[in-house]
Amino acid sequence: MAVRVGVIGCGKITERASLPNLVNYKEKAEVKVLCDIVEDKAGDMAEKFALKGVDIVKDWKKVTERSDIDAVFVNVPNYVHEEIAVGASRAKKHILVEKPITISRRAAKHMIDAARNAGVFLMVEQTQRFDPVHQAARKFIETGKLGKINMVKGRIGHAGPEYWAGGNEGWFSDKRLSGGGAMIDVGIHMLDLLRWLSGKEVAEVCANIKTLEKPFPVDDNGSVIMRFTDGTFGHFEASWTTRPYEVMTWIYGENGKLCTSIGGDKPIVASMATVGEGKDPNCLLEDIVPEVGSGSGWENAIHYFLDCVTENKAPFINGEEGAKSMAVILAAYESAEKGAWVKVK
């Protein structure tokens, strides 16, 4: 039976990711209701995706109180995630909440506890984990060919939220509503990806986070050095002044390195070194190009969530995982403010 879905928040992510990937999975998903505090936006979205017979509501409680809904998509600004996710849990609906899970540790705990007490899934839509290039990277790392990983690096950047939102950056540049700028908006994608690819946890961070160019009161660039709990080194950058868009990672191990580049010419390549007795490991043994699957990060994440609900299988990216990534970002902001290393709490 198809998962009966209510979509709360009918802005850009709903238009670009949720609805296209709900309507292309008709056998698994049925959109029953669209909700936006600006009711016309929900109506326009129903029209755009030819969703005949779908209900349009303004108040999210009118979605969660319905008995004919199994799951909700929480696609609202970051500061609203907590209120709606907790309400949806209490109404016993499964939840796919957009990244970042929320903007404070207290709110994240509230969301996690509510979902656990209700016995519903709380999946955080950290879409970079679902990009086929990154799925291929993780699969390659799992073969163990790189040997022990000692350094991970990443960079994510785009031109800024005003281009995403069509000329008005809106709530993205209001710290009370967003939790910050580029660091929480896109930095969390990269940090979460590095945690997942390496299978390691960050112990402490030292960050430089600034507004270099944009006329916004939030950061547009950030650079974070990390120490992982096992001593691994890490570094990532998040930027709203990068043109064109890019998402890059470098994973270094004893036997070689794996590089991924979305927006570059080689999406994924593992360069293995001539490691062995009497050999010079500065030399290239071979380049391995792992096979990359189909779909996009958005498509794969949304279909995965629907499959989890259908099969009653707990998502691997849950509230706890989302909260761990958010905690690193909050520590990075604290470090940049203090000008010191900060432990991840």
Ligand X SMILES: NC(=O)c1ccc[n+]([C@@H]2O[C@H](COP(=O)([O-])OP(=O)(O)OC[C@H]3O[C@@H](n4cnc5c(N)ncnc54)[C@H](O)[C@@H]3O)[C@@H](O)[C@H]2O)c1
Query: Footprint of ligand X on this chain (CB under 6 A)?
Result: 8-13, 35-38, 41, 60, 75-78, 80, 98-99, 125, 127, 165, 170-171
Q: Which is nearer to ligand X, 72 or 149 (CB)?
A: 72
Q: How far is the CB of 183 from ligand X (least distance, A)?
A: 12
Q: How far is the CB of 205 from ligand X (least distance, A)?
A: 21
Q: Rounded to 10 degrees, what is the CA torsion of 57, 58, 60, 65?
A: -40
Q: By beta-carbon distance, which residue lies closest to ligand X?
A: 11
Q: Which is nearer to ligand X, 157 or 256 (CB)?
A: 157
Q: How far is the CB of 187 from ligand X (least distance, A)?
A: 12
Separation of alpha carbons 101 and 286, rounded Å: 40
- Non-local CB neighbours of 73 within 8 Å, separated by 6+ positions: 5, 6, 7, 8, 9, 14, 18, 96
Q: Which is nearer to ligand X, 170 or 295 (CB)?
A: 170
Q: Which is nearer to ligand X, 87 or 234 (CB)?
A: 87
Q: How far is the CB of 79 from ligand X (least distance, A)?
A: 9
Select from 42, 73, 70 the least CA-distant residue to 55: 42
- Residues 245, 158 contacting (CB under 8 angstroms): yes
Q: Which is nearer to ligand X, 251 or 326 (CB)?
A: 326
Select from 77, 81, 4, 11 the least CA-distant residue to 41: 11
Separation of alpha carbons 273 and 68, rounded Å: 57
Q: Which is nearer to ligand X, 187 or 253 (CB)?
A: 187
Q: How far is the CB of 189 from ligand X (least distance, A)?
A: 7
Helix, strand, or coil (residue 71): strand
Exposure string of 155-180, with b = 16+ CB inside 10 Å and e = fewer, is bbbbebbbebeeeebbbbbbbeebbb
Q: How far is the CB of 330 from ligand X (least distance, A)?
A: 15
Phi and psi dihedrals of 332, rounded to 5?
Answer: -65, -45
What does 143-173 look like in DSSP terms, one character per residue? TTTT-SEEEEEEEEE-S-HHHHTTS--GGGG
**In what helix (H) or strand (E) does residue 197 lie, and over which residues does it extend?**
helix 188-198
Q: How far is the CB of 22 from ligand X (least distance, A)?
A: 15
Token pair, residue 249, equals 């990672």
Q: Which is nearer to ligand X, 98 or 219 (CB)?
A: 98
